[in-house]
Structure 1
Amino acid sequence: MTTELSYTIEEVSQFLKVSKLTIYDLVKKGELPVFRVGRQMRIAANDLDNYIKNNKTNQKTTLPASVFEPRRSDPKETNHVVISGQDLVLDMLGKQIEKNSTYKSLRSFTGSLNSLISMYNGECDIVSLHLFDGDTGEYNLPYLKKILVGHSFILFNLLSRKAGLYVKKGNPLKITSWKDLEREDIQIVNREKGSGARILLDEQLRINKISPKNINGYEHEENNHLSVASAVSTGVADVGVGIEKAAKIVGIDFIPLITEQYDLVILKTPANERLIRIVTEILSSNQFQSEVDSLGDYDTSRTGKIIYETN
C-alpha cells in the first residue's frame, strides 16, 4: 500500500491562511476532496496541490473569489451540511440528519461567536450557540440580532445545561463565585476568544466590575471544555469555566453558576427549507430526545422549541 501525505482541516487552513470554516465551505462545494479517518476529515497532499494549481492566476497562488465573498445558497451545490460547535450532541444530530436525508454532515469544532460570524459570511449551515448577554441576562438572541443583520433566521432550542467553574476535587481553595476569580491565590485557565465559555466569563467579569488584568492566568487559553477541565485536574490551574459534563468525565468538582440555553440557528433561505424541515423533525422526535437524555446532565424539556423566527 502506498503511503500518501495528508493534512487535517486545521493544517490546511493555516497553510492557506484562511479560517477552518472557509475550508469546510470548499469541501461542501466539492472544490476540495476529503476522506475520513474515524471522525476526522483529511485532505490528501496531491488534492491540495491540484486545488492550488487550478486556482493560480498570473503565476501567483490565489484563492477563488468564493473564499473571500459570502457564499450564496445554491440548490445545485453538493449535499453537505456544515454543523459548527463542540458538543457531542451535535455529532448525534449530524448522524440523524444523514439517516433521515441525503445530506452528508461536516463537523466544525469552532466556538459560538466565531461560528456565528462565519454563518454571516456564508461558510456554515447550522451553528450551535451559548452566548450570554450580561445586559439582558438572555442567551443568544441579542447576538443574533446584531450579527445576522440582513439575514432571516430560525432559532431552535437544542438543550439546556449547567455552566460554572471547574475546581479541584474537594474544592480546597473554597471557590464559590465569579468574584473569587480575582483572588491572588487563584490561577485560572481560560477558553479561546469567540467561545461561549469565554464570553460567559468576560460578561461575568464585566457585571461584577472585575478587570481581566486582575485575573491570574487570564491569558492561558485552551480550545475545549475537556482541555480546561484537564488543566484543573492536573494542577496547571486552580479553576476554569465550562460545562458540568466535562468535570464528570475528568473527575473534578463542578460549581454550577448558571443554566445555559444551548441553541441552534439556521438561515432561512430557499435552499435551506428542506434542511430546516428535517432538523425540526429530528429535534422534536422522542428518539433524539431520549438519546440526548441518556447522556445525562442535559435538560431536553424545551428541545425543538422555536425560540425566535424572523419573517
Structure 2
Amino acid sequence: MKAEEISLTPQEVADILKITKNTVYELIKRGELPAYRVGRKIRVDLQDVEAYKRHGKNIEITPDPGIASCRTLPLNPRGYRPEETVSYQQGLVICGQDVILDILTRHLERHPNGVHAFRHYVGSFTGLLALYQGKAHMAAIHLWDGDTGIYNIPFVRRLLPGIPAIIVHLAYRMQGFYLAKDNPKNIKEWKDLTRPDVCFINREKGCGTRVLLDEQLRRLGLDRRLITGYEKEELSHLGVASTVARGEADVGLGNEKAGLQVRGLEFLPLHKERYELVIKKEDMEKPHTHAVIEILQSEAFKKEVQGLGDYDLTETGRIVAEV
C-alpha cells in the first residue's frame, strides 16, 4: 500500500515520532501536522508524518531581520518548522488558535480572490495587539465583558484605539470545565475552584479563556488567591486538557472541541461564547477581505465546520458590529 493511502491513529503517529500522544494532539492543534476526522476519530496520513520528519531535518530558515515579523504557521503546514518566521508583507496573517481558522485559510487559497494565508497561533489580547501594531491583518477573539455580558465589542474599542474595525461572527462555542472521568471531586460551579481540595490548571494571561475565568471570579466576588494552581499556566486548550487527563490537576477551563480530543476527560458546559473575527475597516474593500466574507457565508465552509461537530453556526459570516 502506498504511503498516501495509509492513515494512522494519533497513537501510531506518536510511536513513529517517538513522542507522546498528547504531543501529537498539540502538533495537530498548532497546524504543524495535517489531520482529519473520520466520525469522532482523528486520522493522520502517513505521507504527512514522513513529510514532517523529512522537513524537520532539512529545512533552514533565514528570516529577513529588516522586516517586522511574527511567529506564524502557513496554511499548508507540510514542511513547516515552529522556528519559521514569516512577515506581514509575505501574505495574509490571521491570528487565532481554533481549527475553524485552518478551514478558513484552506478555502481562502482556493478562492478566486484568495491569497496565501499564514496562521499566528496566539490568544485574543495578543492577536488584537498584532492587529493594532500592523503585524496581522485579522484577529479571531472571544473576550467576554462581565459588566455588560457582551463579547468582543468593548475590548476592540479599548485595544484598537482610533482604528475603526469590523467584527464578523465565526461561531458559537461552549466553554466549560475539563474534569477527570466521573468527576471524582464533584466539581460543578465556579466557586468550587476555591475549595482547598481542588487543584486547577490555568491558561495564559490575555487569552479569551483566561479573561472569562477572571471576569467570572470578579463578578461572583471569588478570591483567585484561594484557587490552588491559579498561577500555573498552559498555552492551549489541549495543554489544559492534557494536564487534567494526566492527573496533574483536577480541573481546567477550555472549549468543548479540544476536550473531546483527549481521552479520559469529562466536559461540564458552563458558558456559551462568541468567537469572532476582527478586521480593520480600511481593509474591507480589499479583494482578500471580500473573499473571507464570501467564504464564511458559503454553504461549503459551513458544512465542513459543521462536520467537526460542537459548533453553532447560526450567525456565521454575519457582520455583527462596526466599532
- TM-score > 0.5, shorter chain as reference: yes
Q: Any idea what SS the aligned residue of 2:69 has?
A: helix
Deviation at 1:276, TM superposition (A): 2.2
Deviation at 1:135, TM superposition (A): 0.6
Matched residue, 2:131: 119
Do the aligned residues in 1 keep the contact of 2:237 with 2:258 (CA within 8 Å)? yes
Equivalent residue in structure 2 for 1:261, among 271, 274, 280: 274
Do the aligned residues in 2 keep the contact of 1:24 with 1:82 (CA within 8 Å)? no
Distance 1:181 1:233 in 2: 17
Deviation at 1:259, TM superposition (A): 0.4
Deviation at 1:164, TM superposition (A): 1.0
The gaps in structure 2 that reach 5 residues or longer are 1-53
Code of the aligned partner of 1:81: L
Aligned residues: 263
Do the aligned residues in 1 keep the contact of 2:95 with 2:140 (CA within 8 Å)? yes
Do the aligned residues in 2 keep the contact of 1:36 with 1:42 (CA within 8 Å)? no
Code of the aligned partner of 1:273: K
Q: Any idea what SS the aligned residue of 1:150 has?
A: coil
Equivalent residue in structure 1 for 2:104, among 87, 90, 93: 93
Distance 1:230 1:36 in 2: 23
Matched residue, 1:202: 214
Change in 2 beyond 3 A, CA 1:270/1:141: closer
Are 2:164 and 1:152 equivalent residues in the alignment? Answer: yes
Matched residue, 1:128: 140
The gaps in structure 1 that reach 5 residues or longer are 29-34, 49-66, 72-76
Are 2:129 and 1:82 equivalent residues in the alignment? Answer: no
Percent identity between matched residues is: 40
Matched residue, 2:116: 104
Counterparts in 2 of 1:274-285, with a 5 A limit? 274-285=287-298
Matched residue, 2:70: 23
Q: Any idea what SS the aligned residue of 1:250 has?
A: coil
Matched residue, 1:228: 240
Are 2:308 and 1:295 equivalent residues in the alignment? Answer: yes
**1:25-78 alpha-carbon deviations (Å, 9 max, x no partner):** 9x99xxxxxx9644546549xxx9xxxxxxxxxxxxxxxxxx9xxx8xxxxx54
**1:183-214 alpha-carbon deviations (Å, 9 max, x no partner):** 00000000011111111111111111112211
Code of the aligned partner of 1:137: G
Do the aligned residues in 2 keep the contact of 1:114 with 1:194 (CA within 8 Å)? yes
Do the aligned residues in 1 keep the contact of 2:70 with 2:120 (CA within 8 Å)? no
Change in 2 beyond 3 A, CA 1:223/1:152: same
Do the aligned residues in 2 keep the contact of 1:157 with 1:306 (CA within 8 Å)? yes
Q: Any idea what SS the aligned residue of 2:308 has?
A: coil
Code of the aligned partner of 1:281: E
**1:145-181 alpha-carbon deviations (Å, 9 max, x no partner):** 1111111211110000110111111111111111110
**1:272-307 alpha-carbon deviations (Å, 9 max, x no partner):** 622221111001100000111000000001101111
| TM-score normalised by L of structure 1 | 0.78
Do the aligned residues in 1 keep the contact of 2:176 with 2:253 (CA within 8 Å)? yes
Distance 1:254 1:184 in 2: 22
Deviation at 1:24, TM superposition (A): 4.9
Superposition CA RMSD, Å = 2.8
Q: Any idea what SS the aligned residue of 2:260 has?
A: helix
Matched residue, 1:185: 197
Distance 1:90 1:22 in 2: 20
Deviation at 1:4, TM superposition (A): 5.4
Change in 2 beyond 3 A, CA 1:39/1:155: farther
Do the aligned residues in 1 keep the contact of 2:114 with 2:287 (CA within 8 Å)? no
Q: Any idea what SS the aligned residue of 1:137 has?
A: coil
Deviation at 1:23, TM superposition (A): 2.6
Distance 1:36 1:164 in 2: 30
Code of the aligned partner of 2:167: L
Change in 2 beyond 3 A, CA 1:39/1:171: farther
| TM-score normalised by L of structure 2 | 0.75
Distance 1:203 1:266 in 2: 25
Distance 2:120 2:303 in 1: 24
Distance 2:270 2:199 in 1: 19
Equivalent residue in structure 2 for 1:164, among 173, 176, 179: 176
Are 2:266 and 1:243 equivalent residues in the alignment? Answer: no
Distance 2:59 2:294 in 1: 41
